[in-house]
Amino acid sequence: MDFYIVDVFAETKYAGNQLAVFSGSEVANLSEREMLQIAREMNYSETTFILSSEPRNSGYDVRIFTPTKELPFAGHPTLGTAYIIQREIIKNQVDQVILNLSVGQIPVIWKSEVLWMRQNAPTFGQKYEIETLAEVLNLEVTDIDIKFPIQTVSTGVPFIIVPLKNLVSLKKAKVNLDKYYQFIQTSKTTEILMFCPETYKDINHLSVRMFAPYLGITEDPATGSGNGCLAGYLVEYNYFNQNKIDIRVEQGYEINRPSLLLLQAEKKAAEIEVFVGGNVVMVAQGKFL
């Protein structure tokens, strides 16, 4: 099989979120167990498998795996896989590539060098007590911004969105694993995304961190699906005092993988339209034996 390594939501090589992409005729013959074994071998947040070089219903069938399980959708794997499909399968510059994922068809659009994906409209679920998440994240109650709720939001994969006051609070957050595993027994949501309005770079609007130990991800350097949920959350609760956003979000600085995600969202009629964008950089390619 051919494989590729790309950095997604990266402004330079060796930044952003790493992704391994597998393609070739043998991919379709892999069992789910074999795909999971390969994802564990690569040991990135996610690894993707392009099942065919021919489109079906105008889209390409793709499966996404973490080191521990398959995901119905994830952000940086969607952008990175679309980049490989255009470059290595279509071998021509096109305006759009559609991925057939478990959550449905997700289009990826090119605007200059930036790849944009439109995510499903966000749904808003359970809200949580401040004290509970403060314990899980080893924070003080005073670190959390009480003007906004702690809530599960999903555009295909659910995330618990936690608003923090400042960068000091964001930096010191650390998962208490005992409390975390107790908590997810009742929450049913395993991924936690925190954000604050202070940033490492003045040009950016928010700084983000994401923890998902249950999925084998201690900390994610750039989370496209989670930031899509965040975009919907920001619009739903008028975080910037308006019903639409067009912002820059940084992530991964605490683990030396600085990332940049571009978020656009707007409330239209009964739902919120969400787009997440970023750059993709090719790092390596080869054969998997």
Superfamily classification of domain 123-275: Diaminopimelate Epimerase; Chain A, domain 1 (3.10.310.10)
- Please tell me the distance from the alpha carbon of residue 71 to that of residue 92, in angstroms, as a whole number: 29
**Predicted pLDDT at 36:** 97
- Please tell me the distance from the alpha carbon of residue 283 to that of residue 10, in angstroms, as a whole number: 11
CA distances from 33 to 39, 40, 70 (A): 10, 11, 10
**Predicted pLDDT at 166:** 98
Tokens for 24, please give them.
């070739």
Q: Which helix (H) or strand (E) holds 153?
A: strand 150-154
Domains 2-115+279-287 and 123-275 share a fold: yes
- Please tell me the distance from the alpha carbon of residue 260 to that of residue 200, in angstroms, as a whole number: 11
CATH code reported for the domain at 2-115+279-287: 3.10.310.10
Q: What is the pLDDT along the chain (289 residues), one digit of tens a residue?
A: 999 999 999 999 999 999 999 999 999 999 999 999 999 999 998 999 999 999 999 999 999 999 999 999 888 999 999 999 999 999 998 999 999 999 899 999 999 889 999 999 999 999 999 999 999 999 999 999 999 999 999 998 999 999 999 999 999 999 999 999 999 999 989 999 999 999 999 999 999 999 999 988 899 999 999 999 999 999 999 999 989 999 999 999 999 999 999 999 999 988 999 999 999 999 999 999 8
**Predicted pLDDT at 22:** 98
**Predicted pLDDT at 18:** 96
Q: Are 61 and 54 in contact (CB under 8 A)?
A: no
Instruction: Find the helix packing angle between 75-84 and 224-236, rounded to 10°.
Output: 130
**Residue 111: strand pairing partners:** 114
- Domain coordinates in residue numbering, the chain: 2-115+279-287, 123-275
Q: Are 251 and 221 in contact (CB under 8 A)?
A: yes
